[in-house]
Amino acid sequence: MELHTLTLTEAAAKLHSGEVTSVALTEAMLQRIEAHNPALNAFLSVTADAALESARQADARIRSGAASPLTGVPIALKDVICVKGLPTTAGSLILKGYRPPYNAAVVEKLSSAGAVILGKTNLDEFAMGSSTENSAYGPTRNPWDMSRVPGGSSGGSAAAVAARLAFGALGTDTGGSVRQPAALCGVVGLKPSYGRVSRYGLIAFGSSLDQIGVFGRTAEDAAVLIETIAGHDPRDGTSMPTPVPNYRAVLSRPLHGLRVGLPKEYFVSGVQADVSAGVNAAVKVLESLGATAREVTLPHTDLALSTYYIIAPAEASANLARFDGVRFGPRAEADSMWDEYRRTRGAGFGPEVKRRIMLGAYALSTGYYDAYYLQAQKVRTLIKADFDAAFNDVDVIACPTSPTTAFKIGEKVDDPLAMYLADVFTLPGSLAGIAGLSVNCGFDGDGLPIGLQLLGPAFTEERLLRVAHQYQQATEWHKRQPPAFSH
């Protein structure tokens, strides 16, 4: 039995039955990371000794009968989530060498569950990007084609799961950074509703948008992960005191009577033909399972991109003001305090982060705040109202996750607008704060994965997981492996 071929759920079942040990699973993942990560660059740091010690403790816990569904399962974390004592770079030189003195809330939950943390994964610097090319530590490559991007900003986590270097992973989604890389890497990526998962210990990008999400090969894998990390946390003022359901309990419920909305604004010219065909075929599968599909309209969709790129950079400019070389990270030498700040930030931040800080500072500046930031917040309200109206008539919305499959490394790096358009179908859901999920629904002519995006009202993650699970039960796409990583 090749352990890396197991899904997270299958690995957990074998752990609990005694067929395998956590140490064996962890050693298998560490061996694959050692063999494949130099070329893939999915991991920025690997904590082999700590992972093996956690695995030994997990095995003892399983033997004692005190295990949870994630006990002993090796997973990875995006390197924007704080883990006490481990390097946490946010993909930036400005945090090189930083080791947090505390754990993020999600890390506390994972540790309580007995999960094994393999290490930290690569990302676009401070989660700003759609390709993981903005990392100060080099780009991550797509396991399906090493000349292409894995998506971003959580490209390292998506690539690690797709390449079978981890059974699951955590990422973050501000404007699509879980769903888009999940689509491009052919895995399941779930962005929970805003407020579902605590952001305590997450290095902030856009505070009204950021949400920690999960990656797995199956919807069932994602259900196990989200059920573990979700829940209210008083340390996060945006965390909602909404009960966490048993996500796995509803997966097997049939789709009879489910109303699926197809937003006409997402099925437009400019979408890659293979992507349109794959998504339309997936909708036909849902209909064969008992769902009904109808067209809906989200009329302010065309304003989402510009709205996001005012709000998110504005919040980023405020959040990133704290990185000055005084409290953490390397510090540039200078004769004055202000010169020291300028030199530290100039050397520490990459081009995309600087671009967004400047955009945000401009949008918040005197004389422009009302014209840009305040206006964008009003449009955001209209975008949310579009979804509210649509969900009066349908239960879920189905559409492409990304307008194209994975593009070549370097293809869009010098064209910011082309890069931003990679998230055009994920941004509206982020602005509305609703739940979103991407599931693989086929491959294009080049053998690259296509993502089906499912959107649901706030706090209906279980609905999206059920639809994705039923779709995966009726199809075989999720069982394919990247050929270069099948052994």
pLDDT in tens, 28-65: 999 999 999 999 999 999 999 999 999 999 999 999 99
Structural domain spans, the chain: 3-257+469-485, 302-378
Residues 6+ apart with CB under 8 A from 238: 194, 195, 199, 207, 208
Query: If you average pLDDT over residues 438-460, what whole number do you get?
Result: 98
Check: CATH 3.90.1300.10 for 3-257+469-485?
yes
User: Which is higher by pLDDT, 270 or 141?
Assistant: 141
Query: Considering just the CA atoms, what is the radius of gyration of the chain in Å?
Result: 21
Single pTM value for the model: 0.98
Distance CA(231)–CA(241), nearest Å, equals 7
Would you give the DSSP letter of residue 320? G
- pLDDT tens track for 139-168: 999 999 999 999 999 999 999 999 999 999
Contact yes or no for 106/201 (Cβ under 8 A): yes
Query: If you average pLDDT over residues 157-183, what whole number do you get?
Result: 98
Would you give the DSSP letter of residue 409? T
Listed in sequence order, the DSSP H helices in 349-453 are 351-364, 375-390, 416-420, 427-432
- pLDDT tens track for 101-116: 999 999 999 999 999 9
Burial class (CB in 10 A: 0-12, 13-18, 19+), 43: buried
Listed in sequence order, the DSSP H helices in 134-290 are 155-162, 179-185, 219-229, 273-288
Query: If you average pLDDT over residues 396-407, what whole number do you get?
Result: 98
Would you give the DSSP letter of residue 393? T
Nearest to 286 by CA among 255, 261, 253, 250: 255
pLDDT number for residue 408:
98
Q: From the CB of residue 269, how many other CB atoms can be counted at a distance below 10 Å?
A: 5
pLDDT of 1 above 80: no
pLDDT number for residue 483:
96
Nearest to 24 by CA among 80, 74, 60: 74
Write out the catalytic residue numbers. 78, 153, 177
pLDDT number for residue 278:
98
Indicate the average pLDDT of the chain: 96
